């Protein structure tokens, strides 16, 4: 028995010496992971209690910050347009241009002169010939109304007072209503085919903001119209 114990001890000592001092390195083992450790000195063993307090992977994923969305591209402003406002008689055009002065349009504002067939007019038919027409004209001026003229041509309309000519009946009625509000009580609406010179005020390169302001101004003038410029505007004047 003693001899068997000694033989076992010598065998273990020989195996230990062989594996630690005599045998070469085991080529089946990959030493890479050991050489790639990051801050190995900071590694520590955690207890089961500490491990229980670590949130699961799904919960940690929810805590990750959401990447910011890329900034949206600025909206492209609509193309500037050409608009025209009218139509006005030669006498009314300067007042309409004055109404546009706050827009500071400069060279972008042009006149386009046309001849239009006016089928409707608002007028007064005073009695007493020329003297009666002059009296009625004085009453209109007292009300602050200066946009009129006395028809002096020989014919059925002589000595009538024209308060405006219009292409459509709706425009004539709108002007008629405005005159009633200002105190005119004897005006009439009638049909009359008349070719009259008219002026359209064109605004070039009208930005969206300018278009809104133009529309607001046009709403203040009864019977006027704001629209896109026609395709050809060879009759534009300054």
Q: What's the average pLDDT block by block, 10 residues per block, for the chain (238 residues)?
A: 63 64 54 53 59 57 49 45 89 91 93 89 93 95 92 90 89 92 94 88 93 92 87 52
Residue 27 lies in a domain: no
Whether 83 contacts 200, CB under 8 Å: no
Q: What domain range is 142 assigned to?
A: 81-230
Structure tokens at 13: 């000592």
Cα distances (Å, whole numbers) of residue 175 to 94, 163, 164, 190, 191: 19, 9, 8, 13, 15
Note the pTM of the prediction, 2 decimals. 0.48
Whether 175 contacts 181, CB under 8 Å: no
Residue 65 lies in a domain: no
Please give the full DSSP string across 38-65, using - where no structure is assigned: SSGGG--PPPHHHHHTSPPHHHHHHTSP
Q: Which pLDDT does position 231 carry in this prediction?
A: 79
Structure tokens at 135: 């009296």
Q: Which pLDDT does position 108 carry in this prediction?
A: 94
Residue 21 lies in a domain: no
Count of domains in the chain?
1
The span from the CA of 40 to the CA of 32, in Å, is: 14
């Amino acid at each position: 028995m003693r001899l068997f114990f000694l033989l076992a001890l010598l065998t273990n000592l020989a195996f230990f010496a062989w594996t630690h001092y005599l045998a070469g390195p085991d080529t089946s083992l990959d030493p890479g992971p050991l050489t790639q450790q990051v801050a190995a000195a900071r590694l520590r063993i955690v207890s089961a209690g500490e491990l229980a307090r670590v949130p699961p992977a799904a919960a940690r994923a929810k805590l990750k910050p959401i990447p910011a969305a890329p900034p949206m591209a600025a909206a492209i402003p609509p193309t500037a347009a050409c608009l025209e406002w009218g139509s006005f008689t030669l006498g009314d055009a300067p007042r309409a241009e004055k109404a546009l002065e706050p827009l500071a349009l400069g060279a972008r504002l042009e006149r386009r002169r046309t001849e239009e067939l006016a089928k409707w007019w608002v007028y007064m038919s005073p009695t007493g010939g020329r003297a009666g027409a002059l009296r009625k004209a004085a009453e209109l001026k007292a009300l602050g109304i200066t946009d009129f003229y006395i028809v002096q041509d020989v014919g059925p309309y002589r000595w009538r007072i024209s308060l405006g000519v219009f292409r459509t009946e709706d425009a004539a009625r709108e002007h008629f209503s405005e005159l009633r509000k200002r105190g005119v009580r004897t005006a009439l609406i009638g049909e009359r085919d008349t070719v009259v010179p008219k002026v359209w005020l064109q605004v070039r390169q009208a930005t969206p903001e300018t278009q809104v302001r133009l529309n607001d101004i046009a709403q203040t003038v009864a019977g006027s119209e704001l629209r896109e410029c026609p395709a050809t505007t060879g009759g534009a004047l300054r």
